[in-house]
Amino acid sequence: MSTNILMRPIGFVRSPYLDTAQVPKGFGAKHETQGTIEILPEYELALTDIEGFSHLYVIWVFDRSDGWELLGTPPTDTRPHGVFATRSPRRPNPIGLTVVRLVGRDGPNLQVAGLDMLDGTPVLDIKPYLSNIPESDLRRGWLAEAEIDYKK
């Protein structure tokens, strides 16, 4: 039951952040930072129709985080909390999750806003963000079209 699972990068983040100290943290933090997600050429076809989505989930690896802990004190509090109740990088599986806004696409490269990853961060997966962005800001690409067809 405790089989290990092997993951491989599907691409890498190009971000202005070279060090974690540069990433805005805590309550005032604005995440409007722009950068690029460079998908490896062999996966470019898997981006087909992604332009129709306004926001994407990016699942990535805290590749420069060293080890993990059960309890940690986040920058937004002075008290320790269970690591699964925080966004700490020091997790049993060093998985990061960020919702980004898709600004544009140039072949295998996605221009996005809202990055909080370091330059060179490996990306494991990209999924459309489908819910809970205010209706007025949301586009759902082929899915919205398909929904209209379905309702006819």
Q: Does the footprint of a second copy cover residue 29 (CB under 8 A)?
A: no
Residue from the set 14, 36, 53, 121 that interacts with a second copy by CB under 8 A: 53
x/- map, 60-79, a second copy, by CB under 8 A: -x-x------xx----xxxx
Q: Of 22 and 127, which CB lies nearer to a second copy in the complex structure?
A: 127
105 binds a second copy (CB under 8 A): no
Binder to a second copy among 20, 54, 122, 139 (CB under 8 A)?
122
- CB atoms near residue 46 (< 10 Å): 12
- The CB-side HSE value for 66 (13 A sphere, CA atoms) comes to 1
CB 35 within 8 A of CB 114: no
Among 25, 34, 43, 54, binds a second copy (CB under 8 A): 43
101 is a site residue for a second copy (CB under 8 A): no
Closest separation between CB of residue 141 and a second copy, Å?
Answer: 7
Residues that contact a second copy, how many (by CB under 8 A): 66
Q: How far apart are CA 150 and CA 33, in angstroms?
A: 37
Where do we find the tokens 């221009």?
111
Reported as type and span, the H/E element at residue 14 is strand 11-14
Cα angle 43, 59, 19 (rounded to 5 degrees) comes to: 105
Rounded to 5°, the CA angle 114-65-76 comes to: 60
Candidates 16-24, 48-56, 111-119; binding stretch for a second copy (CB under 8 A): 48-56
Q: Tell the residue number behind the tokens 């460079």, with chain if given.
A: 38
Q: Which amino acid belongs to residue 37?
A: I
Binding site for a second copy (CB under 8 A): 1-10, 12, 26-27, 39-40, 43, 45-50, 52-53, 57, 59, 61, 63, 70-71, 76-87, 91-95, 97, 99, 122, 124-128, 131-134, 141-143, 146-147, 149-150
